Amino acid sequence: MSWDKYAPFYDWENARTMGRRDLLFWKRFVLDRPVGHRHLELGCGTGRLLIPLARGARGLVGVDLSAEMLARARVRLKRLPVATRPRLVRGDIRSLPFPDRSFDQVLAPYGVLQSLTSDADFDATIGETLRLLRPNGRFGLELIPELARWQSYRGQVRFRGKLGKAQVTLVESVRQDRRRGLTIFDEEFTVRERGRTRRHRFPLTFRTMPMDVVLSKLARSGFSVESVQGNYRGGVWTPDSPVSVLIAHRP
């Protein structure tokens, strides 16, 4: 699986792209609900958000299908006091391993739902989220609409830097399948350490959907959309916004 192969490089690359610029938004989202509520992060990965969120909130659970991503998250959890550590669960977000009405809030940050490349998978995940939420529970999700505007290119050196004692170079190619709304990133990480060179190649595929389609899917599933924001500070959304942050709730 690409996500297992990507796990050793996920934090390294995202420190150079995303960082934690969305963290304050998700802190506010989680802390907006009083103590005693339960929160689920879909696609928690290595704990990029889950671990800092746990420093201020309780009742956090992270789910991810990648065993390699979760293994790195478990290492990071050791930085936290035992009583504050979120629960990590390996599971498929299309068929979540939790009872009905288990959570007060569900988070789907950083375009995680865009890794679902078919309508059936997207709809299944939205349906599962609704099933897990208690009445008046909230669903926060972020989409990255600009993916569809990426120009195709081949063999571009994106980043160079250190990963531990190794020197790492990311060479990336981008392909677009515009009929299906897919953006495919062909990643090649070259790792040089102690005179040895290793190359790790894999694709990462993401799907972009028009906003009206996303809103229609949420409504058909039973969600009521509270807001659509164009940045992490509550700005007005437009089709040119670099991110789309939606907040919906289960009536």
What is this structure's pTM? 0.95
Q: Phi, psi (5° rounding) for residue 9?
A: -110, -5
Runs of H (alpha helix) within the chain: 2-14, 23-31, 50-54, 67-77, 119-132, 211-221
- Give the pLDDT score at 150: 86
pLDDT tens-digit profile, the chain (251 residues):
689 999 999 999 999 998 889 999 999 999 887 667 999 999 999 999 999 999 989 999 999 999 999 999 999 999 999 999 999 999 999 999 999 999 999 999 999 999 999 999 999 999 999 999 999 999 999 999 888 888 899 999 999 999 999 999 999 999 999 999 999 999 999 999 999 999 999 999 999 999 999 999 999 999 999 999 999 999 999 999 999 999 999 99
Range(s) of the chain covered by CATH 3.40.50.150: 2-146+208-249
Range(s) of the chain covered by CATH 2.20.25: 148-207
Which two three-digit tokens encode residue 7? 């796990």
What's the CATH superfamily of 2-146+208-249? Vaccinia Virus protein VP39 (3.40.50.150)
Q: Which CATH number fits domain 148-207: 1.10.1060, 1.20.1740, 1.10.1740, 2.20.25?
A: 2.20.25
- Give the pLDDT score at 19: 85
